Structure 1
Amino acid sequence: MLDFCFIIAGNGSLSLRAWLSKQLWKQENCGLAKIEHAKGMYALYYDETQTLGYKGIVATPESTEVSCSSIPKEETLCAYLFVNHEAYSSYCKSYNEYFSWVSERNEARFRGTMNHGQGYDAKNMMHTIGLLQQAKEILSKSELQVQRFNREELLRIKNGAYSYDELFVWSQKLFQEVQELCLHSLLPVAPDQDRLRQQLVDMRKHLYQIKL
Structure 2
Amino acid sequence: MTIEELKKSGSIIFESISGSRAYGLDTATSDTDIRGVFILPKEQFYSLNYIEQINNETNDIAYYELGKFMELLSKNNPNIMELLNVPDDCILYKHPIFNSIKKEDFLSKLCKNTFANYAFTQIKKARGLNKKIVNPVNKERKSVEDFCYVREDKQSILFKDFVSSKDLNPKYCGLVNLSHMKDCYNLFYSEKLNYNGIAREKANQVCLSSVPKSEKPIALLYFNVDGYSTYCKKYNEYWDWVEKRNDERYKSNISHNKNYDAKNMMHTFRLLHMAKEIGLNKEINVRRNDRDYLLSIKNAEFEYDELVSRAQTLNEVLDTIYDNSRLIDRPNLDFINKLVYEIRNDFYNK
2:177 alignment counterpart: 34
Question: Which of 198, 205, 209 is the matching residue for 1:57?
Answer: 198
Map 1:44-193 → 2, pairs under 5 A? 44-46=187-189, 54-58=195-199, 63-191=203-331
Change (3 A) 1:40 1:108: same
Shift of 1:86: 4.8
Secondary structure of 2:208's partner?
A: coil
Residues 49-105 of structure 1: CA deviation (Å, up to 9, x unaligned): x66655543456x55433334545444334432324354234323422332232122
Aligned-pair identity in percent equals 37
Question: Which of 15, 18, 24 is the matching residue for 2:165?
Answer: 24
CA distance in 1, matches of 2:265, 2:337: 31
CA distance in 1, matches of 2:323, 2:165: 67
CA distance in 1, matches of 2:260, 2:273: 20
Secondary structure of 2:187's partner?
A: strand
Residues 178-210 of structure 1: CA deviation (Å, up to 9, x unaligned): 234333333111135648987xx99xxxxxxxx
- Given that residues 150 and 162 in structure 2 are in contact (C-alpha distance below 8 angstroms), is that contact kept between their aligned partners in structure 1? no
- Amino acid corresponding to residue 187 of structure 2 in structure 1: L
Change (3 A) 1:191 1:69: closer
Change (3 A) 1:136 1:197: farther
Shift of 1:133: 1.6
CA distance in 2, matches of 1:132, 1:172: 10
What is the aligned residue count? 198
CA distance in 2, matches of 1:31, 1:161: 59
CA distance in 2, matches of 1:57, 1:104: 35
Change (3 A) 1:148 1:65: same
Change (3 A) 1:18 1:53: closer
CA distance in 1, matches of 2:303, 2:225: 39
- Given that residues 7 and 15 in structure 1 are in contact (C-alpha distance below 8 angstroms), is that contact kept between their aligned partners in structure 2? yes
CA distance in 2, matches of 1:117, 1:39: 45
- Given that residues 27 and 56 in structure 1 are in contact (C-alpha distance below 8 angstroms), is that contact kept between their aligned partners in structure 2? no
- Amino acid corresponding to residue 4 of structure 1 in structure 2: F
Residues 14-40 of structure 1: CA deviation (Å, up to 9, x unaligned): 46359839x934572643223467653
Structure 2 stretches lacking a partner, 5+ long: 1-143, 344-349
CA distance in 1, matches of 2:268, 2:155: 44
CA distance in 2, matches of 1:146, 1:171: 19
Structure with higher RCO (Cα < 8 A, 6+ apart): 2
